[in-house]
Each structure stands twice: as structure tokens, then as C-alpha cells.
Amino acid sequence: MFNLILFGPPGSGKGTQSDKLVEKYGLLHLSTGNLLRGEIACETTLGNEAKNFMDKGQLVPDSVVIGIIGNCLDQHKEAKGFLFDGFPRTVAQAVALDKLLELRNTSIALVLALEVGEEELVNRLVNRGKTSGRSDDTDEAVIRKRFAVYENETAPVAGHYQKAHKFQSIKGEGTVDGIFELISEAIDKRIEQKV
């Protein structure tokens, strides 16, 4: 089983690259942002609770997202590997993910972090906000808040995986295909090392 985390700030291209990676490597894509937006669209209790945090650019509580991921892992026992996108976002989530995977006799193979400058990120998200319908993309103040949350709460997750020698940075600016090539090279190298 090959489990990958695509890491990086809001707008760094995690979702865009995930679509291509799923096609190439057959991994099961788990995006906590998409799962939470699905709950909001269905107007579930969980969705209504999550919306309050997401609209303000804040993180949804750890217990909620860890529960969602645990359920997904149970529902997809046949998966040949998982691609985590937007999770883990706190050190507590990373520790919980390690435990969830250990219980299933597997682990994270690689964490790839997309590096993109803040002004490029703002431009991408403001542009996406014109058509995406995402409430957290339409207000630049909320976008900036998401970056602050990323710096304070999510960036420390990198250290967790650096200690385990699983962390690698990838230049996330340039063409989508060019970045995909760099990501694929890193994955193929890690797969070879494991053989």
C-alpha cells in the first residue's frame, strides 16, 4: 500500500494535482475540504457545524476531521493506497493519522509539500472565487486568515514528517503539467526505494 500526503498552503494546487495523481497511480483521494463541503451541501449536523469554521477561514475541530478520515479508511479497505489532500492540518491530526494507519498495518510513505509564494496564492484563490461558489474564496480577508492559520497550525506538521524522513518540498509554481512531472518523479523514486 502506498499512502501519500499532498501538503501545502491554500491554493498551492493540492486538489489540481490530486486529480492527475489519482489517474496515474490509482490512489484513493481523501480531501477533507471536499468531504466537509459534501456534508454542508447535504445540510447535515456535521456540515452545519463545519460551515461556521470554514466561512471564517478557521480549522474545523480535530475530532471532527479525524472521525471523518477514520470512517473513510474503514469504508475503503480495498484501496491500493490513499492520497491525503488537506489532511493532516495540525500536529494532533498527524499523530492520529499515524495511529489510524498503524492499526491497519500501513503507514505514510511520502509527504510532498507544494511551495508557492503568497501573492501567487492570493491571485489564484481570488480568481477561483469568481466562479467556484466557495464562500471562503470570495473575501480576501478570509483568504489571508487561511494563510495565517496555515502558518500557525499547519506548517508545524512538516516537522512531524521531517523527523520521520518522509518530507520533501516541490516547487509549486509553473505549469500544472511541469509540477505534476516533479511530483511523479518524487513518487517513483520512493516506490523504487521500497522495492
Q: List active site positions.
A: 14, 89, 128, 134, 146
Q: Considering the rule CB under 6 A, would residue 15 count as an interface residue with ligand AP5? A: yes
Q: Contacting ligand AP5 (CB under 6 A), which of 179, 180, 183, 187?
A: 179
169 is a site residue for ligand AP5 (CB under 6 A):
no
* Placement of cell 495511529 in the chain: 99
The size of the interface with ligand AP5 (CB under 6 A), counted in residues, is 28
Quick one: which H or E segment has residue 183? helix 176-194
20 is a contact residue toward ligand AP5 (CB under 6 A):
no
3-state secondary structure of 177: helix
Residue 7: which region, alpha, beta or left (left: phi > 0; alpha: psi -120 to 50)? beta
* Contact status: 53 vs ligand AP5 (CB under 6 A): yes
Residue of 124, 157, 161, 168 interacting with ligand AP5 (CB under 6 A): 124
CA-based radius of gyration for the chain = 16
- Asked if residues 147 and 119 have their Cβ atoms less than 8 Å apart, the reply is no
Q: Does 135 bind ligand AP5 (CB under 6 A)?
A: no
Other C-beta atoms closer than 10 Å to the C-beta of 143 total 21
Exactly one of 4, 33, 39, 110 binds ligand AP5 (CB under 6 A); which one? Answer: 33
For strand 110-115 and strand 167-171, is the pairing parallel, antiparallel, or unpaired? parallel
The answer to whether residue 13 forms part of the interface with ligand AP5 (CB under 6 A) is yes
Q: Which of 3, 4, 5, 12 binds ligand AP5 (CB under 6 A)?
A: 12
Q: Which of 57, 82, 96, 168 binds ligand AP5 (CB under 6 A)?
A: 57
Q: Which of 74, 123, 81, 129 is nearest to 103 (CA)?
A: 74
CB of 121 or CB of 165, closer to ligand AP5? 121
CA torsion through residues 50, 53, 55, 58, sign? negative
The residue ranges that bind ligand AP5 (CB under 6 A) are 8, 10-16, 32-33, 36, 53-54, 57-60, 65, 86-87, 89, 93, 124, 128, 136, 146, 176, 179
